[in-house]
Amino acid sequence: QVQLQESGPGLVKPSQTLSLTCSVSGGSISSGDFYWSWIRQSPRTGLEWIGYIHNTGNSHYSPSLQSRLTISILTSSNFFSLRLASVTAADTAIYYCARTSGISWSLDSFPLWGPGILVTVSS
Amino acid sequence: QPVLTQPPSVTGAPGQRVVITCTGTSSNIGAGHAVHWYRQLPGTAPKLLISGNNNRPSGVPDRFSVSKSGASASLAITGLQAEDEADYYCQSFDSSLSVNYVFGTGTKVTVL
């Protein structure tokens, strides 16, 4: 079955750019009508949807993060990625990649998640 | 950033029924968007427990059920078991500002 795995640095300095990759295995990232998502969790903000991207490249970002955020997808290599610029300590969190249920915006859940990666923003 | 409100904790004895509430607004649950529930064990990712109107993934017992009224939703656990001890989160779509998904604040279920 399809599995997701996050990778990237666990420590990022303030003001730098956080970059993570989500590798998709067991299926093609181009199959189906799914949106490939990033979600983060911290004691301060709880679970927070960051944004997502379709295999066509169509993307949507959280209004609170969109000025610093870029999500991209590389279908030939079966992964998608996250770049969050100008990070602060408030961006310290466990970052999860996830896939939507592929129904519609109004009805979508997140039935598939990666194990998560802890990213700490500190000098 | 809109958020769904849940009680921080709920406690029950084995065999009892507990209910977790999830309160939203007219731009998410109140707008008729689906509500989904997740269970999270320590050190692991949230796992989808029930989606929409009582759609349970394979392996989730029917002791778990959901309901929705107005801008609120509820998750009920009947016949509480020790293995139900976990954090539970609700999730919905919010249409106040473009595409946006919102999660609940989370509820810790403790089994006495």
For the segment B57-71, what is each residue's pLDDT rounded down to a tens digit?
889 999 999 999 999
Q: How confident is the model at residue B96 (pLDDT cuts 50, 70, 90)?
A: confident
Interchain CB distance below 8 Å, A109 and B46 = no
By C-alpha distance, the chain A residue nearest B44 is A115
**How far A72 CA lies from chain B's nearest CA (Å)?**
17
- Please return the burial class of A7, using the count of CB atoms within 10 Å of its CB with bins 0-12, 13-18 and 19+: middle
Task: Please tell me which residue, A55 or B1, carries the higher pLDDT value.
Answer: A55
Q: What is the pLDDT of residues B28-55, one digit of tens each?
A: 999 999 999 999 999 999 999 999 878 8
Write the CB contacts of A4 (distance below 8 Å, at least 6 apart in sequence).
A22, A23, A24, A25, A97, A98, A99, A112, A113, A114
Decide if A65 touches B, using CB distance below 8 A.
Answer: no
Decide if A54 touches B, using CB distance below 8 A.
Answer: no
Does residue B107 surpass a pLDDT of 80?
yes
Helix (H, G, I), strand (E, B) or coil at A45: coil
Interchain CB distance below 8 Å, A106 and B36 = no
pLDDT number for residue A26: 95
- Over range B5-27, report the average pLDDT: 97
Residues of chain A with pLDDT under 50: none
Decide if A105 touches B, using CB distance below 8 A.
Answer: yes
Decide if A64 touches B, using CB distance below 8 A.
Answer: yes
Does residue B2 surpass a pLDDT of 80?
no
pLDDT number for residue B3: 87
Interchain CB distance below 8 Å, B101 and A46 = no
Percent of chain A predicted with pLDDT > 90: 91
Nearest to A47 among B33, B46, B48 (CB): B46
Q: How confident is the model at residue B27 (pLDDT cuts 50, 70, 90)?
A: very high
Contact assessment for residue B86 and residue B38, using Cβ atoms and an 8 Å cutoff: no
